[in-house]
Amino acid sequence: MAAAMIDDPCQRMLMMAAFAISSYSSSYYRVGHKPFNPLLGETYECVRDDKGFRFVGEQVSHHPPITACHADSKNYVFWQGYFRFFLVFSHP
């Protein structure tokens, strides 16, 4: 059920809060009570053959914190990266 379809604002807030904290449930057993805070160059790989997908992420910058990732399955391929450009103008 989508939170947007609920008329009661308290129930909508409850559903949104449950969604927001649900990502932490899988990290409880994965890292032993420590949130995911990778080192620069550290990679994380999750291959779920039973679910038919694969995810690979790498911490590419610490300040600012930037993670590049790739996820794929038989139905999609997803890439996410971060590019930062600096322009310098000089007077001839």
10 and 41 together in one domain: no
29 and 41 together in one domain: no
Range of the domain at 9: 1-33
Residue-wise DSSP of 39-87: PTT-EEEEEETTTTEEEEEEEEETTTTEEEEEEEESS-EEEE-------
55 and 74 together in one domain: yes
Q: Does the predicted model carry a pTM greater than 0.85?
A: no
13 and 54 together in one domain: no
pLDDT at residue 27, rounded to an integer = 53
29 and 57 together in one domain: no
6 and 19 together in one domain: yes
The two tokens of residue 67 are: 């993670």
Give the number of domains in the chain. Answer: 2
22 and 55 together in one domain: no
Residues of the chain with pLDDT under 50: none
The two tokens of residue 8 are: 């009661």
